[in-house]
């Protein structure tokens, strides 16, 4: 018998490239190569409605195969029922490629995304082929308008400011009868409408790409303006929601520095881990 719950599961917690990062031999990447316990795969969530026997993914990470296998090992009898996308950076949509005929060969799998993200997928190969071969069926969503995933859970896209060379970006709020969760893995600054939704939800999984602003001395910060966790903690402290950071770059000090993690936890924030789970209904 199925249990009567809707849960959100964390399937991965790393920035787009994962940890270890290709071509990098920093201490965090070296540790992850030595010991899978230190490995982190691309940020992604599953929403599992066991009342209806269905699940949805939020973002299609490059590690989607392992993520779906992991989910299947927990739930043999739930049907993959669609995908919600945040934006067109590699960690968030490359996994769509594995829905095609070389791999899963899905049939009209619903994909919800903004009109700009939809245009990107419809007009560029190999994504265009997923549409023409009917592996996926794109549903355009307008930020601010919730969509029902099932009788028990709705998904609301929320516009957020983020590098928009290929698409715009949304966060997603997932809401069930018992709780709601905001997922915002990429953002350029903690400002605007998203603050309202973080305050309003029970749990928020937020962009924790960098711990400090000086982690990547060789890159121009204007190219990668994620708000560092050090600053985010001050900015988000007053919002009164349980906050877990996600989407860690391999350089993030929190991954290998117990003092930094203790500092974060004393402030009543924490980092997320693959397998974290919250009940929505």
Query: Which residues are near Zn ion by CB under 5 A?
Result: 16, 89, 91, 186
CB distance 86 to 172 below 8 Å: yes
Q: How far is the CB of 51 from Zn ion (least distance, A)?
A: 31
Q: How far is the CB of 115 from Zn ion (least distance, A)?
A: 18
Q: How far is the CB of 42 from Zn ion (least distance, A)?
A: 8
Q: How far is the CB of 91 from Zn ion (least distance, A)?
A: 4
For Zn ion, the closer of residues 16 and 276 by Cβ is: 16
**Number of other CB atoms surrounding residue 257 within 10 Å:** 13
Q: In the chain, which ranges are continuous DSSP H helix?
A: 27-34, 64-74, 90-93, 115-123, 127-132, 193-200, 229-236, 258-266
What is the number of the residue whose Cβ is closest to Zn ion?
89
Q: How far is the CB of 47 from Zn ion (least distance, A)?
A: 19
**Residue that the structure tokens 């995908």 belong to:** 83
For Zn ion, the closer of residues 7 and 186 by Cβ is: 186
Q: How far is the CB of 89 from Zn ion (least distance, A)?
A: 3
**Number of other CB atoms surrounding residue 153 within 10 Å:** 24
Q: How far apart are CA 57 and CA 223, in angstroms?
A: 28
List Cβ neighbours of 230 (8 Å cut-off, separation of 6 or more): 211, 212, 213
For Zn ion, the closer of residues 49 and 186 by Cβ is: 186
Of 182, 227, 236, 189, the residue nearest 208 (C-alpha): 227
Instruction: Report residue 163 as tokens.
Output: 């590098």
For Zn ion, the closer of residues 62 and 82 by Cβ is: 62
For Zn ion, the closer of residues 109 and 246 by Cβ is: 246
Instruction: Report residue 62 as tokens.
Output: 């490059």
For Zn ion, the closer of residues 93 and 98 by Cβ is: 93
């Amino acid at each position: 018998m199925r249990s009567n719950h809707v849960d959100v599961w964390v399937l991965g917690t790393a920035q787009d490239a994962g940890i270890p990062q290709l071509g990098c031999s920093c201490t965090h990447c070296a540790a992850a190569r030595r010991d899978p316990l230190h490995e982190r795969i691309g940020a992604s969530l599953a929403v599992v409605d066991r009342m209806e026997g269905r699940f949805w993914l939020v973002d299609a990470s490059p590690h989607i195969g392992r993520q779906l296998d992991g989910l299947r090992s927990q739930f043999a009898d739930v049907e993959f029922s669609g995908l919600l996308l945040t934006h067109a950076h590699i960690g968030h949509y490359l996994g769509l490629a594995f829905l095609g005929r070389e791999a899963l060969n899905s049939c009209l799998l619903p994909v919800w995304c903004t009109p700009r993200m939809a245009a990107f997928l419809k007009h560029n190969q190999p994504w265009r082929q997923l549409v023409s071969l009917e592996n996926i069926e794109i549903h355009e969503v307008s930020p601010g308008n919730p969509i029902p995933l099932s009788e028990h859970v709705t998904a609301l896209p929320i516009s957020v400011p983020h590098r928009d060379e290929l698409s715009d970006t949304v966060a997603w709020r997932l809401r069930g009868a018992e709780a709601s969760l905001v997922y915002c893995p990429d953002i350029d600054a903690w400002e605007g409408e998203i603050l309202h939704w973080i305050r309003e939800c029970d749990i928020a999984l937020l962009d924790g790409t960098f711990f400090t602003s000086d982690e990547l001395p060789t890159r121009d910060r204007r190219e990668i303006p994620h708000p560092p966790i050090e600053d985010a903690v001050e900015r988000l402290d007053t919002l009164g929601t349980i906050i877990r950071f996600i989407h860690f770059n391999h350089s993030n000090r929190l991954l290998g520095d117990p003092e930094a993690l203790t500092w974060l936890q004393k402030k009543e924030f924490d980092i997320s881990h693959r397998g974290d789970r919250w009940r929505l209904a």
